[in-house]
Amino acid sequence: MDPTDSDIVRVFSLNCWGIRYMSKHCQQRYVMIGEMLSIEKHDIVLLQEVWSEKDFLFLKNKLSYTHPHSHYFKSGVIGSGLAVFTKYRIHDTFLYRYSLNGYPYMAHHGDWFGGKAVGMVILTIGGRTAHVYVTHLHAEYCREKDSYLPHRVVQAWELQQFIRHTSAGADLVIVGGDLNMHPQDLGNRLLRSYTALKDSYLETTLYAGCEDGVTLIANNPFINKKELGPFKTGIRIDYILFKGSSKIDIHCDAMSVTKGSVPNHPFPYSDHEALTSTLRLKSHQPDENLHCTDFLRTSQDKHNEARTEVKVGLHCTERMRYTAARTGVMGLALLLLQLAIAAVPWLALGAEQPFPKTSFYLLALLCFAILLTTSLLYVFYTIELKCLQGAEDQMRLCVGHLQERLRGFPLAQPHNVLQCPLP
């Protein structure tokens, strides 16, 4: 069978770094991105960090002929930053907001305000139902001392859950986005092993791009080389993943990643590199080479590792909540003490003792601020604790189920690895 138009799907993914007035050359870069997309005419375009809806509308207008169907996912204070453009009609969409996503008081990191999420759109490609996901996980600001690691592990856990539970009716699944995780990071292994998604970079026949498929590279003029740390040439944190089903097999024929510059332009599209995968769909060929038992065993190891990470996060959050509570109680005690001091001269009417009003009110203001801040923090840490506990519970349940499957292993559907670990 010769490949027809609908048998080849070209997928594009880019973190646009679109913080208006803060990201360098933001407007010009959107013009460049719009022009490139309208020339390249990818079938599916998955964009992240399109923080401003105005920029989305600019692209929507620019791509109205080449990509008539689009969706912008709204979430959080600023937005999720996720956008999809495609030539296929979008039948349905669904958004899942990650339960944990940094801290509101870490405003300079800004992740909390972004409302990180995973968006799904359902398309029909040549009569086949495609579930396409776009996501952006919490950034890693310091690899050595990464206080957001439990958050990112929980996000990866929720991402695999969301994909797994919402893709049962799909003929093919495509996931694109900035996972903010290196290929061998725990969250990435969790995601790939649980969903059986394949990595375009690892599966492709032809590859064009920097060595090791890096997508955050030292050659990009917007990158601060210090931030790359020991990874001198760059890191791979953006991905296009895919999988077929019992009906469809997918193969990645080609993959390309930009190299930090764009011909005839003074700067690249973004601080991240752009990814393009050419996927070829064909009717299913049963694959007999799956080793489900090994698969279950490695899944179990990943599970235990993830639970440990989440437990570390739990202890940290408990400690922080305790500190907030203690500070709050101290603030309250000080406020009450002040009230008592203030009450004394008023009770002893006519004593006319000198009363240090200025320092009194300043101190009261301070106590009040402490009380309010610690109360808000206490509520926030409680929510975080519940989310971490919830994820840990779910992981424990899955480990139990995996152990059960390992004991008496019935090799149910050898062609679908998804059916192996979980129903």
Interaction site with its own copies (CB under 8 A): 71-77, 79, 89-97, 99, 104, 115, 120, 122, 124, 129, 161-162, 165-166, 168-170, 357-358, 361-362, 364-365, 368-369, 372, 379, 382-383, 386-387, 389-390, 393-394, 397-398, 401, 404, 422-423
Residue with tokens 């900035």: 178
Nearest to 150 by CA among 391, 415, 395, 399: 391
Sheet containing 238-243, strands listed edge to edge, beginning at the edge strand earlier in sequence: 90-97, 117-125, 128-136, 172-178, 238-243, 198-199
- Residue 41, helix vs strand vs coil: coil
Burial 67-105 (b: 16+ CB within 10 A, else e): bebbbbbebbebbbbbbbbbbbebeeeebbebbbbbbee
Tokens of 37: 């997309």
- Minimum CB separation of residue 170 from its own copies in Å reads 8
- Minimum CB separation of residue 394 from its own copies in Å reads 5
- Minimum CB separation of residue 273 from its own copies in Å reads 29
Q: Which is nearer to its own copies, 287 or 393 (CB)?
A: 393
Q: Which residue type sits at 91?
A: H
DSSP class of residue 266? S
Q: Which is nearer to its own copies, 170 or 190 (CB)?
A: 170
d(CA 272, CA 260) in angstroms, rounded, equals 8
- Minimum CB separation of residue 226 from its own copies in Å reads 32
Q: Which is nearer to its own copies, 337 or 383 (CB)?
A: 383
Q: Is 272 a catalytic residue?
A: yes
- Minimum CB separation of residue 401 from its own copies in Å reads 5
Q: Which is nearer to its own copies, 23 or 166 (CB)?
A: 166
- Minimum CB separation of residue 212 from its own copies in Å reads 34
d(CA 163, CA 160) in angstroms, rounded, equals 5
Nearest to 178 by CA among 117, 232, 98: 117
- Residue 15, helix vs strand vs coil: strand
- Answer yes or no: are the C-beta atoms of 321 and 382 closer than 8 Å: yes
Q: Which is nearer to its own copies, 169 or 230 (CB)?
A: 169
Ordered DSSP codes for 364-412:
HHHHHHHHHHHHHHHHHHHHHHHHHHHHHHHHHHHHHHHHHHHHT----
**What is the CB-side half-sphere exposure of residue 17 using CA atoms within 13 A?**
19
DSSP class of residue 146? -
- Minimum CB separation of residue 80 from its own copies in Å reads 8
Catalytic residue, candidates 71, 136, 138, 272: 272
Q: Which is nearer to its own copies, 80 or 258 (CB)?
A: 80
- Answer yes or no: are the C-beta atoms of 59 and 30 closer than 8 Å: yes
Q: Which is nearer to its own copies, 84 or 214 (CB)?
A: 84
Active site positions, annotated: 272
